[in-house]
Structure formats: C-alpha cells, structure tokens
C-alpha cells in the first residue's frame, strides 16, 4: 500500500468515528484485578503487590493513569472468593491475577472470557485449568507452583534440622486439592527415613489448635505446612502454637519463616509476581492467554530462621546452613 493511501485510510477511519470516541479508544484506562490469598496487613503480600506494580511500570504502564490495579485481600474462604470475584468482574477487568485453586475453580464458573493469569498453582493440567502447559487453549495461563515431588524435599530438610523426627503431620485445607499432590512423595520419603506420615486436614482455627495440641504429646512430632491461601490466613496462629509446643515445622512459603517459623522451602513467590507482570503486559497489548505457555518455576527459596532454631534447641548442621538462601537472625 502506498503511503498516501495508508494516510487516507487512517483518516477515513478516524472521520467515521466521533472524535471523542476515537480518542477514548486509544487512551482507555486498563483494569487489572488481583486476588490475594493473604491479609492486607501481611508485609510479604504487600511486597509482592509492589513487585507487580514495578514490573508493569517497567513495561511503560502508569499506575492510576492508563492502568489501574484493584486488589482484593484475604481471598481464601469460598464466601470471600465469591464476593471478590463479583466485585472485580463488576469493574470490567481486562485481565485477572489469581493464586489459589479455589479461586481459579470459582473463576471458571464465573467467566470464560476474561483472561486469567495464575501463580503458584499445582498441576494446572490435571486440575483442568489448561489443556496443556505449552498450549493452554482457554482463557487461563500462568505459572505453576512447586512440583509434587517437593514433599520429599520438605521432609528431608525437616529431618536434617530435627534428627529426632519420628512422625510428621501434613496440614492441609480440604477445599484445596492441589497441595495434597505432594503428599505422595512425602509418603515415599518417609518410608526411607523411618518416619510415620499422616494427613491433617483442618477447616478452621479450632481444628488447627486441636492438631497442634495432639502433636505436642507425640515424641518426635513435626509439621509440614504447604502453600495455601486458607492456611496463610492462620499463619500467625500456626507459628505461635509451633513455638509454644516446641514443634519443628517446615513451610512452603517465605512469609512463615519471616514471621518466626523454623524454615521454609518453596517457589519464590516474588519471582512469580515479577513474571506475572510480563504476562499481564502481553495480554493488555493484545496477546491471548491461550497462546502464552504455562511456565514452571525457575527459583526456589530455602530460608532458615536461626533464632527459632535456637529457641527449639535445634543445632542446624553447618552444611545445611550453607545451602540456605537466607538465615534469619
């Protein structure tokens, strides 16, 4: 096409629309909705929100200018999830960001058209969120959580920190089947380490308290807490009870160790938020979620809280300390 023909075509297109509508279509403020499983007061959650904003700003978006991000915090229970989805869909979002199985399942029922980027999701193909990692095929794509084999790693690290470990309870949220996929690798590793594993589903604070009270009466008892929005809501209670009953515990998210938990091993959530900003930008600029491959983690974090280890009377082997990304003192 010749240049003058192109200019004529563009001019004709602009003339066929009211001037205000043409300007509005090119300068429309984009809307991103974000479901955060943790409470708004959680400093780790706030740091992830900041990473998301920074990532989008690096792509040229202006906060509260051509882009607005609406956060909904504490999205863990079914009731809160339904309310948050309704609120954000009413805002006509261009893309949504979510990080729990329960939220994704509810979003599947609520909309098939709004693009969704997910983070920290176990086995998204097996759970029916995407057709395949390479070709998601629907309105969802994003970043997986740790692979199911991470359960063995949790148990091995906990045993190294607490050599007397003889029984371990795997705390779980019955409403989130994803983390349970790691329990099979816990069972396999436990057989080799001479440890008795058990599932410990909890549905509220009273059941968490009951589990921890039961564990304190078991010699060699320990606890594994996987990543989960509902459990994160009760992180302070879990950490405090583990300290009170002198129970060695390992967690799947950094925030637990930062708040006083013994140790964590898991996917870097911060890295996932940085990468999510890239996918959100690409979708806002016209790419389709179905064409963006689901990506697996590239960074894992092992963090030990040295102060908590000393309070529990644990002597962490120097070789293990050397492998940690961070030792909190």
Q: Is 329 exposed, middle or buried (0-12, 13-18, 19+ CB in 10 A)?
A: exposed
Domain CATH number, residue 77 = 3.40.50.2300
Q: Are residues 315 and 203 in the same domain?
A: yes
Shared domain check, 281 and 137: yes
Examine the domain organization and report whether 223 and 312 are in the same domain: yes
Q: What is the mean pLDDT of residues 122-127?
A: 91
* 117 and 259 assigned to the same domain: no
**What is the pTM for the complete model shown?**
0.85
Long-range pairs for 20-28: beta carbons < 8 A, 24 or more residues apart: 27/66, 28/66
| Cα distance between residue 328 and residue 296, in whole Å | 27
CA–CA distance, 156 with 168 (Å, rounded to integer):
11
Statement to judge: residues 231 and 91 lie in one domain: no
113 with 223, same domain: the answer is no
Domain that holds residue 197: 150-267+301-328
**Which residue reads 């920074």 in tokens?**
54
For range 300-328, the mean pLDDT: 97
136 CB contacts (<8 Å, ≥6 apart)? 130, 289, 290, 291, 292, 293, 294
What is the spatial distance between Cα 136 and Cα 294, in angstroms, rounded to a whole number?
7
Q: What is the pLDDT of residues 8-37, one digit of tens each?
A: 433 444 333 343 443 444 468 999 999 999
Residue 3 scores a pLDDT above 90: no
**246 within a domain of the structure (yes/no):** yes
Max CA separation in the chain (angstroms): 84
97 and 108 in a common domain:
yes
| Confidence check: pLDDT of 145 > 50 | yes
- Residue whose structure tokens are 């998210």: 253
pLDDT level of residue 4 (50, 70, 90 thresholds): very low
Looking at residue 148, its pLDDT comes to 87
Between 16-30, 121-135, 213-227, the lowest mean confidence (pLDDT) is in: 16-30
- The DSSP 8-state label assigned to residue 129 in this structure reads S
- Determine the Cα–Cα distance for residues 233 and 154; give it in Å rounded to an integer: 21
């Amino acid at each position: 096409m010749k240049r003058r023909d192109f200019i004529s075509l563009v001019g004709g297109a602009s003339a066929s629309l009211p001037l205000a509508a043409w300007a509005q279509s090119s300068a429309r403020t984009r809307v991103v909705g974000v479901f955060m499983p943790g409470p708004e007061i959680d400093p780790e959650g706030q740091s992830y929100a900041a990473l998301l904003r920074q990532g989008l700003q690096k792509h040229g978006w202006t906060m509260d200018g051509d882009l607005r991000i609406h956060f909904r915090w504490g999205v863990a229970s079914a009731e809160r999830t339904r309310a948050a989805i309704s609120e954000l869909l009413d805002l006509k979002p261009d893309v949504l960001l979510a990080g729990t199985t329960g939220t994704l399942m509810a979003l599947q029922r609520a909309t098939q058209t709004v693009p969704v980027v997910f983070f920290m999701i176990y086995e998204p193909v097996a759970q029916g969120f995407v057709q395949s990692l390479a070709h998601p095929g629907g309105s969802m794509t994003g970043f997986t959580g740790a692979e199911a084999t991470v359960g063995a790693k949790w148990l091995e690290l906990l045993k190294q920190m607490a050599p007397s470990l003889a029984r371990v309870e795997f705390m779980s949220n019955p409403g989130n089947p994803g983390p349970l996929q790691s329990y099979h690798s816990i069972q396999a590793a436990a057989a080799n380490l001479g440890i008795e594993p058990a599932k410990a589903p909890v549905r509220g604070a009273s059941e968490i308290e009951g589990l921890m009270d039961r564990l304190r009466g078991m010699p060699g008892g320990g606890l594994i807490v996987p990543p989960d929005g509902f459990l994160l809501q009760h992180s302070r209670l879990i950490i405090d009870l583990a300290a009170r009953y002198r129970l060695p515990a390992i967690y799947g998210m950094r925030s637990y160790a930062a708040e006083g938990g013994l140790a964590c091993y898991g996917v870097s959530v911060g890295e996932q938020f940085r990468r999510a900003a890239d996918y959100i930008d690409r979708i806002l600029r016209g790419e389709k979620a179905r064409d963006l491959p689901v990506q697996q983690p590239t960074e894992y974090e092992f963090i030990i809280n040295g102060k908590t280890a000393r309070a529990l009377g644990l002597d962490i082997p120097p070789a293990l300390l050397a492998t940690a990304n961070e030792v909190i003192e």
